[in-house]
A and B are shown apart, each in its own frame.
Chain A
Amino acid sequence: MNLTIFLLALFDGISYAALVFIVALGLTLIFGVMRILNIAHGSLYAIGAYATVSLTGFFLALGFSPIFAFPLMIISAVLVGMLLGGPIEWLLLRRIYDKPEVLQLLVTFAVFMILEDAQRLVWGTQPYFQASALQALGNITLFGVTYTVYQLILLPLVAIGLLFGLRFFLRRTVIGKLILATTEDREAAQSIGIDADRVFLFTFIVGAVLAGLGGALASPTTSILPGMGADMIVLSFAVVATAGLGQIEGAAVAALLIGLGRSFAVYVWPEVAVLVPYLIMVLVLLIRPQGLFGSPVARKI
């Protein structure tokens, strides 16, 4: 494990962690505020990727330059947030806030199943590959290994930007404070006039946009296939649970932990690479049952 291998594993780990964080961020936000673990988050991620590939393909065919792929990513993410995130919360989740946790989870699982098929009906089953955004930024060579600027620099920057952006938004802006208040105590928030329904709708849409953005940003680095949603969501569960539910900063640390763990495993013992995220999750929860940053809930009698 000489130095270059160590650094290479580090770089790969960082770019992978950035992507996993962006997706887990939306999941953490939604759970933190609404106490709902949204299994359909995986489908929103996948549809964000498919939408980006279709839009980019369409515009490039019209002769637009590859640079347009970036704004298109944001557009597809917002589309996913508005067209899918909004209706899911407004039509479905709103009716089940009082219902037990298992039923809320299952509603999101049912939505996941519906969206997986819908995605297959619209985009079919063959793999798509649209890397023009990635190619537009070219490569960079470190220690003899050529990395794409997109994966090594852009993704981590976007991840960090989203982390601090969301922190600033929640702590400094009015809407952000409303969201935090509703998270703390929904009844109390409502009693002082906060329209919790609108806050939940807004939070879910932001969460869905983040999921779509995760998919959009991932699309140039991978071929888009059915089932990518299922793979990513189970990984996001590992990140969210390791971080401590609803902990945005925790999700960043957990994503880094899991990203680095996985990429070092590929260098040391490839067989175990798929196993590492869940091993980390179990080990962390063994030591801190409420997750890295979660706060233990004391039972009063």
Chain B
Amino acid sequence: MLDTSQRSAPKLSDKAGGLRSTRSLLTLAGVLLLAAVPLIAPSMQLLINLALAKGLAVLGVTILLRAGQVSFGHALFFGVSAYVGAFLMASMPQADLILVLIAGVAGAAISGLLVGLFVVRYRGIFFGMLNLAFSMIFWSILEKFYHITGGADGIRLARPTVLGMALERPEFEAVLFYLSLVLMVGLGWFTLRWFASPVGQIFQTIKTNETRLEYLGLSPKRVLLSGYLLSAALCGVGGSLMAMTQGVVTPEYVWWVRSAEMVFIAVLGGAGSVRGAFIGALIYEIVRVYASAFAGDIWQLLLGSFLLIIILFAPGGIMGIADSVMNRRSKSQPTNLGEDAQ
């Protein structure tokens, strides 16, 4: 399956220590830059907010990539969370933002469990296609059961209150932006630590040797399910944030091209890389919005070609390129520097 060398076993040698600090410095700089966006470039705020929400969902897909599995249906959990939020707001107009987020993520986790129990019996292409099938079933239900789901037009998601206060749109968008940023840093850090933890490491053995996993007294299906639930929950967070930012949820949230887009972004950023998920999402959204503004409606063509170049010449993705640049600059060439985990 996926032979990326992205693992997170920090090396003890000092060379890696040096690289790790530059990497975390760059990450810190990136986060601060993003935090300043509402002040220095307010017109970009909405775009970056959407990219962060999408990045969280891509993080879910990245987790599965680490186990060598590709899901082409993870937009399902993205959509479930969005629609749970919309239905909640429709029935309880005074619901709070935190409640909408939690309800959405809970919905995503539950549907993750239900679908997961079925798909963890499969691997490779079948795993991908079955996830696709489940997302298409949910998509068809959203499209066709008009009187319940609002059909193709979707449902509006009114603005929830924030900690009890009903905010105007600009303030609400600022709160949402910084919430997305905090969730990015928090969940990104958690995912890095999770990857490095025994649970996360065992989850990644699914890619290399399930037989030995069984002979360690563990059920590969249950191990895969644990990662699957985490990835569904992360997609849930992304879906909920996107829904609240957009103010409308449509079956488009669950269309198969969006699931493929998530895998696209994960690999573009660097398959298996946590930072890559967000960097990939930012680049993808920026190209999508600005390419269509300047280069007519060929953003898909541009992004498709960009991905081809990445896959053919830099399979490690953008983070892979960044690593090699940093490695070359510091002369030494540790062979297998995975992403560090403080």
Contacts and interface: CB of A to CB of B under 8 A. Distances in A.
A112 B304 CA distance: 8
Given A278-B133, A289-B122, A102 B312 contact: no
Interface stretch (A113-121, A157-165, A217-225, A249-257): A113-121
A120 B65 CA distance: 32
A272 B133 CA distance: 14
A117 B256 contact: no
A102 B130 CA distance: 15
Contacts of A106: 263-264, 267, 307, 311
A113 B70 contact: no
A107 interface: yes
Contact of A102 (B271, B299, B303): B271
Given A102-B263, A105-B70, A241-B133, A271 B144 contact: yes
A230 B68 CA distance: 26
A121 to B, nearest CB: 7
Interface in A255-301: 271-272, 274-275, 277-279, 281-282, 285-286, 289-290, 299, 301
Contacts of A290: 126
Interface residues of A, number: 45
A110 B133 contact: no
Interface residues of B, number: 47
- Which has the most chain B C-beta neighbours within 10 Å: A102, A106, A271, A299? A102
B130 A113 contact: no
A211 B9 CA distance: 46
A178 B317 CA distance: 36
Interface in B294-310: 297-301, 303-305, 307-308
B137 A282 contact: yes
A28 B49 CA distance: 41
Contact of A110 (B2, B211, B257, B304): B304
Given A92-B312, A234-B132, A299 B300 contact: no
Contacts of B312: 92, 95-96, 107
Interface of A: 37, 39, 92, 95-96, 99-103, 105-107, 109-114, 116-118, 120-121, 230, 234, 237-238, 241, 245, 271-272, 274-275, 277-279, 281-282, 285-286, 289-290, 299, 301
Shortest beta-carbon contacts, A-B, top 9:
A113-B304, A117-B301, A275-B140, A114-B304, A110-B304, A113-B300, A274-B140, A110-B307, A241-B129
15 contacts: A100-B68, A107-B308, A109-B264, A110-B264, A110-B303, A110-B304, A114-B305, A230-B256, A241-B133, A245-B126, A274-B140, A281-B129, A281-B130, A282-B137, A299-B211
Given A245-B125, A278-B140, A289-B121, 8 more contacts: A100-B3, A105-B70, A106-B267, A106-B307, A113-B301, A113-B307, A275-B144, A277-B136
